[in-house]
Structure 1
Amino acid sequence: MPHTGLLRHDQTLFRDPDVFEPTYLPEHLHHRDAQVQEIAFLLQPALRGGSALSAVLRGLPGTGKTTTVRRVFAAITEETRRVAPVYVNCRHDHSALAVYRSIFRQVCGYPAGRHLDEIKQGIAARLRDRDAALVVCLDDADELIVAGIYNTILYQILRLYEKWDVRKAGVFAVTSDLARNLYAEADASVRSVFHPAEVNFPPYTRAEIREILADRVRQGLYPRVLPPPLLDRIAVIAAGEQDVRVGIDLVRAAVLRAEKDGRRRVTHADVTAAARTVMAPGLNSRIAALSAGERTLLSWIAERSSEGGDMASGAVFEAAQGYLAVGKTTYHEHLKRLAEAGFLDLVPRTGRGREVRLRYDATEVAAACRSPDRTPKTPDRV
């Protein structure tokens, strides 16, 4: 039978689909050696029988914070029992009971009960038995601030040694909000014991993202499934979003589309369709975080862009005057905010001025801005 280039119903393009799952932990961390070394330095005192130091890990979403911490914690767990590293996802566990139940389960190896004092006592007893230093990573620690328990959790964990005769714990507080100071959010009683180093995670470059994606493709797909030019295109998209996870999701979605159609190769159309699927939810949630004025201006920019209007910054402002009650200062503040949030680029033009260039499809942006569930989370700035 001649080769048709089509998959049989029992064939797959994935060598290992787990490589593209959010929980996958790569054996090698590309371009995060400096951060690994900083975290290892903070853990060294605990390896010598003392207490780990604390830290704030800061970086935009998709810059490797969670993966780096989990990789280092996994290596520590394999190397010694004198350190008890615990990872808490505060988006899932954002009550005091949930946080401590997560710590108990990882330290003790079985589920916790429902009484908070007994859970704390159980954690302390196991730490004493092992002569182990507790290190807790509070990922997305901002969620504890929203829940109103950030100071309580930090205070209790960092002062666990006072009541239960264990080594002082270390806390790694992780945030993706570059404007938030997690140390300043702590009250005076917490700051007396919380002296964090700061570990920064800059966005990956396009070349770095491509290398990370190429490694995942080698591990997770069969040869020649994803042509190099399409991998390049996906890397460009992910770099524009400053989020390597977008690239990983795009690879997975594009391959699934090709597999569903019974094809052995990913096409340009697969990547285009995957980009719409993967990026639309993120676009909606990010638009929801804008103020009313910022969202209105973004909608106007999207509509003007789709109509082929002059996108020079000054021309956009002049044309908007008939529709938006906004002064020049506020206009430029909103424009700067939209650029910082990744919705558009302000590209210098020949001579003077800048061009407003959307990063997303103009029709999709306009539709998302008009969606009835877009409720601003912050008041408009005037």
Structure 2
Amino acid sequence: MPDDPEGGMLSWDESVFRDEHVFEIDYVPETFKHREGQMRNLTYALRPAVRGSRPLNVMVRGPPGTGKTTAIQKLFDEVGAQTSDVRTIRVNCQVNATRYSVFSRLFEGTFDYEPPSSGISFKKLFGQIAEKLVDDDRVLVVALDDVNYLFYENEASDTLYSLLRAHEEYPGAKIGVVVVSSDPALDVIDELDSRVQSVFRPEDVYFPVYDSPEIGDILDERVTRGFHDGVIARDTLEHVADLTADSGDLRVGIDLLRRAGLNAEMRASRTVERQDVDEAYEQSKYVNLSRSLSGLTDTELTLLEVIANHDGEQAGEVYDVFRDHTELGYTRYSEIVNKLDQLSLIDAEYTEVDGRGRSRSLSLSYEKEAVLDRLE
């Protein structure tokens, strides 16, 4: 375990990191490896927009941590570099999970300032966006990232309907939609209203889980850009790649490298060792859990805490405790249970209960301590 030859902690102007931002989740790499086919398909769909026409709509699917958001950001950057006649706006639906909040973000992206916080109807908000596009003769490409959250809140059909039908109410409005789903169990088309299905015929672009060699290649480039030379040995990096492959989420590996680097610095070491990786993995393996929790409301977090403390109990028994905390009715409670189940935060399985027929038992999908620690 090599120590700092100068003795003591690394000073503030010394670090194992060449560029720590390389290991941030929102970092967009200069080279985007192993997604060439997906990028070609996305470019094909958006090419008409660069020529002033309405682009093809696209459905981007794939598990978390497979490069979907990065692909959208890279493509939007390229479009912006080619022309100012196309406005590209990515909306994070984990944060903006209603039609009104989605269009508030579109308003902000169109006018470069936020809409009034109150007193403006959806119709007026939408009208101002569409009229601005027509007046400026601009094409709008909207990426609804993590669109699955709109489905969880029953807002997806209304949101897409408004976007896809805009040209009927506002002739000359040219809007293309890219929906990005990270829920493998969600069939986007089947879950939409028939009125939306009739007009939403998207190109399908699938992002599979990275295989082990691809993970190793991507992480190796992050190490080259993010760490100083010689900080992490090849066998240690291979260990990181193996842990990442087991998780199926590239973000785990990227977060793991950053935390392992910080652990090495805490030891005043100039190299990342296997023990730094193993200690970091106890936090990094919950990247997806932390991300899911960050998008929940206080009420949803309250229910998750109740379930954690009543793990495996029947839905009716859990509701009694939840109602004492929130005074919400059973219908809203059931909606939140369904959302937590769809997010794979809990398992809501139907079981036979003596004398009561079928009832759902609610249990956590993660270790209780991991959930409670992140709820504090």
TM-score using structure 2 length: 0.73
Match of residue 26, structure 1, among 11, 26, 29: 29
Q: How does 1:122-133 map to 2 (within 5 A)?
A: 122-133=128-139
Report the equivalent of 1:151.
157
Does residue 248 (structure 1) correspond to residue 275 (structure 2)? The answer is no
CA-CA distance at 1:120 after TM superposition:
1.7
Query: Using the alignment, how far apart are the partners of 1:95 and 1:38 within structure 2?
Result: 29
Report the equivalent of 1:102.
105
Paired residue secondary structure (2:220): helix
Task: Tell me which amino acid in the other structure corresponds to 1:245.
Answer: R
Match of residue 266, structure 2, among 260, 263, 271: 260
CA-CA distance at 1:261 after TM superposition:
2.2
Report the equivalent of 1:60.
63
Paired residue secondary structure (2:285): helix
CA-CA distance at 1:82 after TM superposition:
2.4
Paired residue secondary structure (2:141): strand
Query: Using the alignment, how far apart are the partners of 2:12 and 2:74 within structure 1?
Result: 36
RMSD over aligned Cα, in angstroms? 2.8
CA-CA distance at 1:70 after TM superposition:
1.0
Runs of 4+ in 1 over 3 A off after TM superposition: 2-6, 280-286, 366-374
CA-CA distance at 1:119 after TM superposition:
2.4
Report the equivalent of 2:232.
226
Query: Using the alignment, how far apart are the partners of 2:47 and 2:173 within structure 1?
Result: 14
Task: Tell me which amino acid in the other structure corresponds to 2:268.
Answer: G
Report the equivalent of 1:215.
221
Would you say the 8 A contact 1:113–1:119 is kept in 2?
A: no
Task: Tell me which amino acid in the other structure corresponds to 1:148.
Answer: N
CA-CA distance at 1:369 after TM superposition:
4.9
Query: Using the alignment, how far apart are the partners of 1:257 and 1:127 within structure 2?
Result: 50
Q: 1:370 to 1:121 in 2, by over 3 A?
A: closer
Match of residue 202, structure 2, among 196, 203, 217: 196
Structure 1 stretches lacking a partner, 5+ long:
289-294, 297-340, 342-365, 375-382
Query: Using the alignment, how far apart are the partners of 2:236 and 2:78 within structure 1?
Result: 34
Would you say the 8 A contact 2:130–2:173 is kept in 1?
A: no
The CA deviation string for residues 74-108 of structure 1, in whole angstroms up to 9 with x for no partner, is: 11011112222110110001122210111122222
Would you say the 8 A contact 2:130–2:170 is kept in 1?
A: yes
Task: Tell me which amino acid in the other structure corresponds to 1:98.
Answer: S
Task: Tell me which amino acid in the other structure corresponds to 1:248.
Answer: I
Does residue 70 (structure 1) correspond to residue 73 (structure 2)? The answer is yes
Does residue 39 (structure 1) correspond to residue 45 (structure 2)? The answer is no
Would you say the 8 A contact 2:131–2:173 is kept in 1?
A: no
Q: How does 1:328-343 map to 2 (within 5 A)?
A: none
Would you say the 8 A contact 2:244–2:250 is kept in 1?
A: yes
The CA deviation string for residues 166-210 of structure 1, in whole angstroms up to 9 with x for no partner, is: 333211111122222111111111112111111010111111111
- Number of equivalences: 300
Query: Using the alignment, how far apart are the partners of 2:77 and 2:63 within structure 1?
Result: 23
Report the equivalent of 2:296.
none
Report the equivalent of 1:316.
none
CA-CA distance at 1:65 after TM superposition:
0.6
Query: Using the alignment, how far apart are the partners of 1:53 and 1:187 within structure 2?
Result: 20
Report the equivalent of 2:96.
93
Report the equivalent of 1:238.
244
Match of residue 185, structure 1, among 180, 191, 201: 191
Task: Tell me which amino acid in the other structure corresponds to 1:138.
Answer: L
Query: Using the alignment, how far apart are the partners of 2:367 and 2:55 within structure 1?
Result: 46
Report the equivalent of 1:301.
none
Structure 2 stretches lacking a partner, 5+ long:
293-303, 305-310, 313-343, 345-363
Task: Tell me which amino acid in the other structure corresponds to 2:141.
Answer: V
CA-CA distance at 1:55 after TM superposition:
1.4
Query: Using the alignment, how far apart are the partners of 1:8 and 1:181 within structure 2?
Result: 52
CA-CA distance at 1:281 after TM superposition:
6.2
Query: Using the alignment, how far apart are the partners of 1:48 and 1:372 within structure 2?
Result: 50
Report the equivalent of 1:358.
none
Paired residue secondary structure (1:165): coil
Q: 1:207 to 1:124 in 2, by over 3 A?
A: same
The answer to which structure, 1 or 2, has the higher relative contact order (CA under 8 A, 6+ apart) is 2
Query: Using the alignment, how far apart are the partners of 1:370 and 1:98 within structure 2?
Result: 33
Task: Tell me which amino acid in the other structure corresponds to 1:230.
Answer: T
Task: Tell me which amino acid in the other structure corresponds to 2:233.
Answer: P
Report the equivalent of 1:82.
85
Paired residue secondary structure (2:174): coil
Q: 1:151 to 1:18 in 2, by over 3 A?
A: same
Would you say the 8 A contact 2:88–2:140 is kept in 1?
A: yes
Query: Using the alignment, how far apart are the partners of 1:238 and 1:283 within structure 2?
Result: 15
Query: Using the alignment, how far apart are the partners of 1:29 and 1:214 within structure 2?
Result: 13
Query: Using the alignment, how far apart are the partners of 2:286 and 2:197 within structure 1?
Result: 40
Would you say the 8 A contact 1:209–1:238 is kept in 2?
A: yes
Query: Using the alignment, how far apart are the partners of 1:172 and 1:271 within structure 2?
Result: 37
Query: Using the alignment, how far apart are the partners of 1:143 and 1:280 within structure 2?
Result: 20
The CA deviation string for residues 7-38 of structure 1, in whole angstroms up to 9 with x for no partner, is: 22432222212111122111211001100000
Would you say the 8 A contact 2:50–2:86 is kept in 1?
A: yes
Would you say the 8 A contact 2:93–2:102 is kept in 1?
A: yes
CA-CA distance at 1:280 after TM superposition:
4.3
